[in-house]
Amino acid sequence: MKRTPMNTRQVAKGDRAFFGISSAASFFTLALVFLVLIFLSFRSWTTFAEQGIKFVTGSTWDNTTNPGTFQILPMIVGTVLISMVGLAIAVPASVSVAYFIEYMAPPRISKIATSLIDLLAALPSVVIGLWGMMVLVPQASEWSGLLTQHLGFIPFFRNTSGNTLGSPFMAGWTVAIMIIPIITSVSREVMSRVDKELISASTALGGTNFSTMRRVVIPTAKSGILGGILLGLGRALGETVAIFFVLNLIFDTNWYHILEPRGGSIPSLIVAKFGETTPSELSALMAAGVVLFIVTLIVNMIATSIVQRSEKRMAS
C-alpha cells in the first residue's frame, strides 16, 4: 500500500468523520430507548385515554362490550408477586453457590462450575419453560400441596381452590431456576474481585471462615451482589415464555396467596391475547407493555447506578 503524507486538513476531516460516525451511532442508540416509549405510548394512547387510572387499579378484562373494559391490576400484582417468589428462592441459593465456587470448592471443580454457570446463564428461557412444564410442575405441585396441608395456617400458603397448578408459586420456581445462574454468575465475579490479601490478613489475625465472610467478603461484595440481584429481578419481571405454560391467567387480584392459581403476569397476558385481538384490545396490550417497560426501566436504572457506584469505589 502506498502511503502519501496527509496534510492537516485531511487529517482533521477524516477524524471528524470518525467522530461523527461513532457519535451518530451513540445518539441513535440513545434515541432508541425513547423511541420505544414514544411509539408504544402513541399506539396505546386510546387505552390510557379511555380507561384512565382504572387501567392500573381495576381488575376487569372484557372485550365483548363497546368500548371494552381493560384493566390490568391483577397482572401487575402477579408480575411482582412471581418475581418476589423467584427472588426469595434464587437469592439465598445463588449467593451460597457463588460462595461455594469461589471459596470452598477445589480449584478444578470451581473452574468447571464457573463455565457451567456462565453457560446456564445464557440458557434460552423457552428451554426452561419446556423443563418447567414437563419436569418441574409435577414435582412442585406436590410440594405446593404439602405446603398447604402443613403450613396452610400461614396466610401465604393458604389455598382454598383445591388446585395446585398454575399458581404464582409454580411460575416463581421456574423463574428462580432461570435467574439463579444469572445472579450466581455476577456474585461469583464480584466475590472473585475481593482482595485476596484482605482475606489472608483476616485469617492471619485469627478470623474464622465465617467471620471473614461476614466482615470482609460480604461488605466488599455487597453492592455488586445487589446489582446482580436487581439484574435477575429485571429478567424475572420481563420473563415471558418460561412462565407462560405454568401460569393461569385469571382476572382476580391475588395479593399474596402464592399457592392459589389466580392472577397472572403482564408478559403472559400479552402473549396469550396477542393472537386474536380487537384493535382496542391490542392497544390495551401495548399499554400493558408500556407499564411493564417503565417498571423494568426503573429497576434497571437503580441496578446500573448501584453497580457503577460500587465499581468506582472498588477502583479508588
Nearer to another protein, 250 or 287 (CB): 287
What is the identity of the amino acid at 21?
I
Name residue 70's beta-bridge partners: 61
Helix axes 218-238 and 73-99, enclosed angle (nearest 10) = 140
Task: Please state the closest distance from residue 28 (CB atom) to another protein, in A.
Answer: 7
Buried b (16+ CB within 10 A) or exposed e, 15-30: eeeeeeeeeeeeeeee
**For residue 311, what is its C-alpha cell?**
465499581
Q: What 3-state class would DSSP assign to 69?
A: strand
Q: How far apart are CA 75 and CA 52, in angstroms?
A: 17
Q: How far apart are CA 141 and CA 191, in angstroms?
A: 35
Task: Please state the closest distance from residue 158 (CB atom) to another protein, in A.
Answer: 18
Task: Please state the closest distance from residue 295 (CB atom) to another protein, in A.
Answer: 9
Nearer to another protein, 83 or 254 (CB): 83
Q: What 3-state class would DSSP assign to 97?
A: helix
Nearer to another protein, 9 or 155 (CB): 9
Please calculate the CA angle 249-253-256 and round it to the nearest 5 degrees: 105
Task: Please state the closest distance from residue 68 (CB atom) to another protein, in A.
Answer: 18
Nearer to another protein, 76 or 286 (CB): 286
What is the identity of the amino acid at 181?
P
**For residue 141, what is its C-alpha cell?**
405441585
Nearer to another protein, 3 or 65 (CB): 3
Nearer to another protein, 27 or 156 (CB): 27
Task: Please state the closest distance from residue 171 (CB atom) to another protein, in A.
Answer: 15
Task: Please state the closest distance from residue 92 (CB atom) to another protein, in A.
Answer: 6
Task: Please state the closest distance from residue 106 (CB atom) to another protein, in A.
Answer: 12
Nearer to another protein, 6 or 62 (CB): 6
Residue 177 CB neighbours (<10 A):
20
CA dihedral 35, 309, 292, 141 (to 10 degrees): 150
